[in-house]
């Protein structure tokens, strides 16, 4: 310790070093935990400096040092140089783990930005090209039976395609949802050699070309059984495409249900079917709704199976079992291949309506699916509390004096039997 005179200022005495202070100063590692999230000035400066340096290095490479050319190559080289320089700048102040964390954060943000940019471009471009047809009311209420390629946008519409798409997807959902969920429950609850075989077939069917599904339904339903092309046949073909997607996604979701829930239900004496119906399926309801949406998005955009099994028509047909029927994807294909501007505008307008229809179906599925396990809405919380109060009253009635646990409240006692007082365990 350094001896300090009494007349030294208090600040000098407080600043006098000790053995403990010297040991802390030379201790390895940071003295405070590293900040995980948030924006710091050092991070922003490192990002800006790495971006500017990467751009300068790329300009130097493409302009002076190497015979590189092309916009895509310039962008990729600039991005790679930016990542390398950013890693170096971050490594000046942080350890290796922090450098990897910062670099991977930048990569993930870049991937998310590219994804949302592509989605925005697709949706925006489709809506912009269809802006001429969407404002007209006849576009949603009329068909194309009395309209031709040279007619203006005030004549004709896509009502026949909208009705056809809704009819086909309804038939497909009526077939796919019960079969898909039942198969997923079987694969999840009854493991064995046959379930592994079924899972392998399902995984192989996820890569089934859509034209093969259409040819199968065309060969069996139309050629083999002699039925005519209709919306029902198209619904069968679409369900073949949707079924493996729904089964695979539902199987993955059901695997995420905690095993202690099913074990607790079976320990209370519930049979397997009641455990699945009241525990497994409600717990995975939100994920199962997502699985159905994934299958619907796959089936609602199919064109070749519909063309093979439902044919093509420009008239409105509400009978799903008789006569040709057209869907929105098939109508879009027929519109955009025409050189007429009015037909092209109708095609992009029909594509915008198809995307809106998928969005509506997604919202409906999310509402039906509800929230994830452990999260209840206010109405669900009130219903749960009301059921709990009813259970409490029922147990109080069952444990009332003079009533056996095997009797129902309000039932008369058998003839000759009188309720006896509860035993107290004491003798006179």
Q: Name the DSSP letter for residue 94.
A: S
Within 13 A of 91's CA, how many CA atoms are on the CB side?
9
> Nearest-5° angle of CA 144, CA 300, CA 324?
40
Q: Measured in Å, how far apart are the chain's first and last C-alpha atoms? A: 85
**Per-residue pLDDT tens listing for the chain (428 residues):** 444 444 444 443 444 444 444 444 444 555 566 566 667 788 788 888 888 988 888 888 887 777 777 788 888 888 999 999 988 888 888 888 888 888 898 999 999 999 999 999 999 999 999 888 899 899 998 888 888 888 888 888 899 999 999 999 999 999 999 999 999 999 888 877 888 888 888 888 888 888 888 899 999 999 988 888 889 999 999 999 999 999 999 988 988 888 888 888 888 888 888 888 888 888 888 888 888 988 888 888 888 888 889 988 888 888 888 889 999 999 999 898 888 888 899 999 999 999 998 888 888 887 776 665 556 667 777 887 888 888 888 888 877 665 554 454 455 544 444 444 444 444 43
Structure tokens at 212: 């093969």
Please provide the DSSP assignment of 311-346 as one string: ---SS----TTSS----HHHHHHHHHTSS-HHHHHH
Q: Which two tokens stand for residue 142?
A: 């009329």
Six-digit token string for 109: 């943000």
Angle formed by the axes of helices 193-205 and 159-189, to 10°?
150
Taken in order 247, 248, 254, 255, is the CA torsion positive or negative?
Answer: positive
CA distance 205 to 207: 5
d(CA 233, CA 216): 11
């Amino acid at each position: 310790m350094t001896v300090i005179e009494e007349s030294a200022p208090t600040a000098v005495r407080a600043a006098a070093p000790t053995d403990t202070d010297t040991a802390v100063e030379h201790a390895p590692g940071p003295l405070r935990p590293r900040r995980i999230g948030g924006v710091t000035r050092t991070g922003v400066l490192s990002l800006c400096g790495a971006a500017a340096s990467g751009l300068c290095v790329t300009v130097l490479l493409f302009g002076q040092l190497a015979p590189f050319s092309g916009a895509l190559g310039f962008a990729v080289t600039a991005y790679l140089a930016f990542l390398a320089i950013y890693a170096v700048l971050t490594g000046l102040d942080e350890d290796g783990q922090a450098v990897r964390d910062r670099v991977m954060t930048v990569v993930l943000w870049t991937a998310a930005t590219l994804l949302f940019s592509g989605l925005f471009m697709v949706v925006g471009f489709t809506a912009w090209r269809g802006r001429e047809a969407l404002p007209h009311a006849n576009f949603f209420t009329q068909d194309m039976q009395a309209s031709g390629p040279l007619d203006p946008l005030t004549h004709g519409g896509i009502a026949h395609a909208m009705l056809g798409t809704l009819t086909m997807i309804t038939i497909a959902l009526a077939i796919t949802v019960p079969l898909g969920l039942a198969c997923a429950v079987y694969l999840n609850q009854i493991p064995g050699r046959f379930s592994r075989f079924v899972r392998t077939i399902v995984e192989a069917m996820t890569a089934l070309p859509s034209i093969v599904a259409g040819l199968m339904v065309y060969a069996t339903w139309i050629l083999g059984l002699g039925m005519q092309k209709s919306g029902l046949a198209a619904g069968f073909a679409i369900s073949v495409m949707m079924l493996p997607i729904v089964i695979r996604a539902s199987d993955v979701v059901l695997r995420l249900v905690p095993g202690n829930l099913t074990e607790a239900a079976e320990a209370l004496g519930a049979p397997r079917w009641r455990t699945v119906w009241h525990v497994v399926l409600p717990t995975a309801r939100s994920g199962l709704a997502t699985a159905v949406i994934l299958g619907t998005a796959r089936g609602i955009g199919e064109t070749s199976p519909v063309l093979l099994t439902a044919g093509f028509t420009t008239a409105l047909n509400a009978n799903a079992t008789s006569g040709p029927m057209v869907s929105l994807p098939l109508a879009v294909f027929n519109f955009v291949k025409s050189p007429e501007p009015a037909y092209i505008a109708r095609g992009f307008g029909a594509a915008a309506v198809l995307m809106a229809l998928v969005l509506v179906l997604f919202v409906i599925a999310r509402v039906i699916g509800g929230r994830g396990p452990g999260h209840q809405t206010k109405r669900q919380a009130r219903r749960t509390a009301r059921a709990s109060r009813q259970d409490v009253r029922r147990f109080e009635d069952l444990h009332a004096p003079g009533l056996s646990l095997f009797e129902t409240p309000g039932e008369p006692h058998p003839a000759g039997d009188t309720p006896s007082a509860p035993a107290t365990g004491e003798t006179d």
